[in-house]
Amino acid sequence: MQVPISSKLRKDVKKIMQIRMAEMAKPIKEFYNKKAQEGKPLDFKALQKNPLALLEFQRYAMEVMILQRNALIPKDIKFERIDANGVPCDWVTCPNCEENKVLLWLFGGGYVMGTLETRKNYPFLIGREGKIRSLLVGYRIAPEHPFPAALDDAVIAYRWLTSTGISPNNIIIGGASAGGGLAVALLLKLRDLNLSLPAGAVLLSPWTDLTCTGDSWDINAEYEAGVPKEFLEWMGKAYLKDEDPKNPLASPLYGNLENLPPLLIHAGNCERLRDDSTKLAERAKSAGVDVELKVWDDMLHVFQQFYDFLPESNQSIEEIGQYIHKILN
């Protein structure tokens, strides 16, 4: 399976993409062999035209690759599985963190991928930099559990967290990609439930518009050719099921953003979801929300994942840590 890598990408970013593609070789071969043994042989073109098969492959490849990369997590980072009123979560504790201050983290994966085991990196990276504990929320994913299952689980986890004695003033909500959109939807839901809101939110390349109509979807298509737009649209539909894609609790870009806490948004200018970040920032500012937006040159979707390669990735994480210090202190 050969996925085109844009010649327009910065040299070091292009190299990283090539490395990641090489890492995919083993799970690709294993998956194709598995399907052949099941009597369901696939080729790349067939895979692209079959969203359920592509999802099965993406989940399989993610499991193989990310579990391998988990070996890079420092041994002094502690993970503790807990039950938050029925929602599985992981406490992520770094040395010298303040345990009464918490980052509630909602992972990315298009609402259809992700597990507690495969989404450990950001809670420990940001928690370590911000010197706070992280609560990684294992919300249910689609298509097995469509909207509003993920949002319901996020609300339950937040309520559980505050019931343990953690003040909302000591909580930051964060998320990447779909998790970033879910984080904003959670803020809207908490506000509408008249619950105390957290001190702020940190959003990495948030997916805030499930209509997938931002100009950057097409403008930046060449930079992110690894996943076909049709599959991205399918992920949104799998999560929505019969829900209106402009429902603010699924696509918070269309919501009333008044009275939300401060937001920090980091995105890449080469990513397809760039407009989801810039438009969210514009509408939130118009609603009177304190927003800090930074669009990084030459960067792709959730570029912080390249923290072991790119200086910008580490710089972004450092700035997020500084922001958390500022908001919570």
In 198-225, which positions are buried (b, 16+ CB within 10 angstroms) versus exposed (e)?
Answer: bbbbbbbbbbbbbbbebebbeebeebbe
Residue 12 covered by a domain: no
- Which of 10, 35, 66 is the last residue in one of the domains? 66
For residues 188 and 299, membership in a common domain is answered with: yes
For residues 219 and 322, membership in a common domain is answered with: yes
Residue 13 covered by a domain: no
**For the chain, the helix, strand and coil percentages under 3-state DSSP, each to the nearest 5:** 45, 15, 40
Radius of gyration of the chain (CA): 19
The pLDDT value given to residue 30: 85
The whole domain housing 48 covers 18-66
DSSP collapsed to 3 states, 34-74: HHHHCCCCCCHHHHHCCHHHHHHHHHHHHHHHHHHHHHHCC
Residue 1 covered by a domain: no
Residue 35 covered by a domain: yes
Residue 223 tokens, joined:
């930079």
Count the neighbouring beta carbons within 10 Å of the beta carbon of residue 95: 10
- Give the pLDDT band (50/70/90) at residue 122: very high
In 132-143, which positions are buried (b, 16+ CB within 10 angstroms) versus exposed (e)?
Answer: bbbbbbbbebbb
Residue 8 covered by a domain: no
Evaluate if residue 184 carries a pLDDT over 80: yes
On whether the CB atoms of residues 239 and 210 are closer than 8 A, the answer is yes
Which residues are catalytically annotated? Answer: 177, 271, 301
The pLDDT value given to residue 34: 84
pLDDT digits (tens, 9 = 90+) for 131-149: 999 999 999 999 999 999 9
Mean pLDDT of the chain: 93
The pLDDT value given to residue 239: 98
- Residue of 43, 115, 98, 279 lying closest to 184 (CA atoms): 279
For residues 55 and 89, membership in a common domain is answered with: no
Domain CATH code at residue 158:
3.40.50.1820
Residue 191 covered by a domain: yes
Q: Give the separation between CA 244 and CA 119, rounded to whole angstroms.
A: 28
For residues 148 and 48, membership in a common domain is answered with: no
For residues 256 and 296, membership in a common domain is answered with: yes
- Residue of 128, 131, 121, 132 lying closest to 204 (CA atoms): 121
On whether the CB atoms of residues 239 and 150 are closer than 8 A, the answer is yes
Residue 296 covered by a domain: yes
For residues 46 and 139, membership in a common domain is answered with: no
For residues 174 and 29, membership in a common domain is answered with: no
**DSSP states of 262-284:** PEEEEEETTSTTHHHHHHHHHHH
- Domains: count for the chain: 2
- Give the pLDDT band (50/70/90) at residue 308: confident
Q: Which range among 42-46, 70-74, 153-157, 160-164 shows the weakest confidence by mean pLDDT?
A: 42-46
For residues 124 and 259, membership in a common domain is answered with: yes
Evaluate if residue 182 carries a pLDDT over 90: yes
Q: Which range among 34-48, 149-163, 222-236 shows the weakest confidence by mean pLDDT?
A: 34-48
For residues 190 and 275, membership in a common domain is answered with: yes
CA distances from 43 to 46, 65, 142 (A): 5, 21, 25
24 CB-near residues (< 8 Å, 6+ apart): 1, 61, 65
- Give the pLDDT band (50/70/90) at residue 29: confident
Question: What are the φ and ψ backbone dihedral angles of 148, each rounded to 5 degrees?
Answer: -105, 30
- Residue of 215, 228, 291, 225 lying closest to 258 (CA atoms): 291
For residues 47 and 185, membership in a common domain is answered with: no
- Which of 47, 66, 85 is the last residue in one of the domains? 66
In DSSP terms, 266 is beta-bridged to 204, 294
- Give the pLDDT band (50/70/90) at residue 63: confident
Q: What is the mean pLDDT of residues 183-190?
A: 98
In DSSP terms, 98 is beta-bridged to 132
